[in-house]
């Protein structure tokens, strides 16, 4: 059982009161509690069961333009007093930075909490095991599935309070249910692995155990007996599980942190055409039950819907208080990152997309994180399938795909199959002119 809001509020108030008595000009504190219960399952047997609880306070104190932070997982009163004292001592000897401050008061969240982010449902271990048992039984019912790399089920409940000396004090409960199944397929000496994964705020929204098992086996089997291909420039279609990673790179490249440092290929590109005119990107915080939904960011600033790309043009950056001052912008509630980030769906169906070229490389797995954020260069290992005249012909592996995001962004086409399954989401994506390295 997670701690209630009053318990967390009392701790935050004690810490802030102590900090002000010591002479801190400002202070902020996050008091959080989470409980996670996890079951791991492998080859039709329990592989492990864990329960973890995290309870901590993170304090930030200011003395003029000096700032420092400390964290404690021991919330006894004498330990909390010691935490505040140590943090304030550290602050006084920290170099000044003219940009250090709490966010402006008028940016604080004040409103109703109607996003439905907490599911009281609790599954005992037996119910979690039954779910995983069914998922693996479904997967193993397919003859070519010979092994599993493991399955798991996690249930996490969290609560927190964020308070600061400018009068902000608020928090809320969240829940997360996560399940996955990873299996191994085999045929003619070829062995391949793949998985299915689902994570939702509410248990009732989670993929069924049957669907988890079916998808994991289907994905693993489609990789069997891969061929090697020659190096060439190709049209590539990215599966939705992969295309969302390209959107994540975009988000990283427009963070006020890297914009201020100049360490991004999108520096100075605001109000410029980055994508084709039919591409739109939104960060929407107020989707009910969605994984990325939030009321305020890690500074207490309200998180409103933000249009990042409009008709291909970069309209907004992801701005926090500190780095916003460096680039002369106010925080838009993105301290800590995005909320529910997604491409708006395209106009083509999936079938229209894969039938739009005679030969396409369909990517369903990438290996590594080969992005240079300064130059925009992109290179990762990959595997997938060759599509010819709209038909999936054969799997390929041991390839490298490479390009530059300045060109990738300008050449991508989106399908209309957007689904909000993660905190960052993309439809299936086609990109022209990707360099494919093979034999």
Q: Note the pLDDT tens digit of each residue in 289-335.
A: 999 999 999 999 999 999 999 999 999 999 999 999 999 999 999 99
Q: Which residue has the tokens 């369909």?
A: 362
Tell me the domains of the chain and their CATH numbers.
5-107 (3.30.2290.10), 125-150+171-221 (3.30.2290.10), 232-437 (no CATH)
Q: Which residue has the tokens 């838009």?
A: 332
Q: Which residues are registered as beta bridge partners of 182?
A: 150, 195
Please report the pLDDT score of residue 369 as a whole number: 83
Cα gap 81→9, rounded to integer Å: 16
Backbone angles phi, psi at 318, to 5 degrees: -95, 110
Structure tokens at 162: 């964020």
Local structure of 197: helix, strand or coil: strand
* C-alpha pair distances (Å), 311 with each of 167, 182, 302, 307, 336: 40, 39, 26, 10, 26
pLDDT per position as a tens digit, 331-378? 999 999 999 999 999 999 999 999 999 999 999 999 988 899 999 999
Structure tokens at 118: 């907490």
Please report the pLDDT score of residue 115 as a whole number: 97
**Averaged over 242-257, what is the pLDDT?**
97
For the chain, the average pLDDT equals 97
Cα gap 275→408, rounded to integer Å: 9
What do you get for the CA distance between the two ends of the chain, in Å? 56
pLDDT per position as a tens digit, 264-281? 999 999 999 999 999 999
pLDDT per position as a tens digit, 388-408? 999 999 999 999 999 999 999
Please report the pLDDT score of residue 191 as a whole number: 96
Please report the pLDDT score of residue 192 as a whole number: 96
Please report the pLDDT score of residue 16 as a whole number: 98
Please report the pLDDT score of residue 1 as a whole number: 84
pLDDT per position as a tens digit, 222-231? 999 999 999 9
């Amino acid at each position: 059982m997670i701690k209630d809001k009053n318990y967390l509020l009392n701790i935050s108030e004690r810490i802030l009161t102590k900090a002000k008595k010591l002479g801190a000009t400002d202070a902020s504190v996050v008091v959080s509690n989470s409980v996670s219960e996890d079951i791991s399952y492998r080859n039709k047997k329990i592989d492990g069961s864990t329960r973890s609880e995290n309870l901590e306070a993170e304090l930030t104190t200011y003395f003029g333009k000096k700032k420092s932070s400390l964290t404690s997982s021991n919330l006894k009163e004498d330990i909390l007093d010691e935490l505040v004292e140590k943090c304030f001592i550290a602050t006084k000897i920290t170099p000044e930075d003219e940009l250090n401050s709490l966010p402006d008061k008028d940016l604080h969240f004040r409103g109703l909490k109607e996003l439905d982010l907490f599911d009281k449902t609790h599954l005992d271990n037996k119910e979690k095991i039954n779910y995983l048992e069914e998922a693996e039984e479904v997967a193993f019912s397919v003859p070519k599935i010979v092994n599993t790399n493991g399955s798991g089920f996690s249930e996490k409940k969290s609560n927190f309070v964020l308070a600061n000396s400018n009068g902000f004090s608020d928090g809320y409960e969240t829940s997360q249910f996560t399940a996955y199944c990873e299996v191994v397929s085999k045929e003619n000496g070829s062995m391949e692995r793949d998985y299915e994964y689902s994570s939702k705020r509410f248990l009732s929204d989670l993929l069924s155990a049957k669907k988890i098992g079916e998808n994991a086996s289907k994905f693993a089997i489609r990789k069997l007996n891969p061929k090697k291909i020659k190096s060439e420039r190709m049209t590539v279609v990215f599966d939705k599980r992969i295309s969302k990673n390209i959107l994540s790179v975009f988000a990283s490249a427009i963070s006020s942190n890297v914009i201020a440092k100049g360490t991004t290929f999108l520096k100075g590109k605001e109000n410029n055409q980055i994508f084709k005119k039919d591409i739109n990107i939104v960060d929407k915080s107020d989707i009910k039950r969605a994984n990325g939904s939030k009321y305020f960011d890690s500074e207490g600033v309200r998180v409103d819907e933000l249009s990042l790309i409009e008709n291909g043009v970069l309209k907004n950056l992801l701005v926090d208080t500190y780095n916003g001052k460096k680039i002369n912008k106010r925080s838009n509630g993105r301290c800590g990152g995005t909320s529910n980030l997604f491409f708006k769906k395209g106009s083509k169906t999936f079938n229209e997309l894969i039938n739009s070229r005679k030969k396409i490389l369909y990517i369903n797995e990438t290996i590594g994180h080969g992005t240079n954020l300064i130059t925009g260069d992109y290179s990762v290992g990959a595997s997938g399938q060759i599509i010819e005249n709209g038909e999936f012909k054969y799997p390929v592996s041991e390839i490298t795909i490479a390009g530059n995001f300045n060109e990738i962004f300008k050449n991508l086409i989106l399908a209309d199959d957007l689904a909000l399954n993660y905190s960052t989401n993309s439809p299936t994506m086609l990109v022209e002119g990707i360099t494919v390295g093979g034999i």
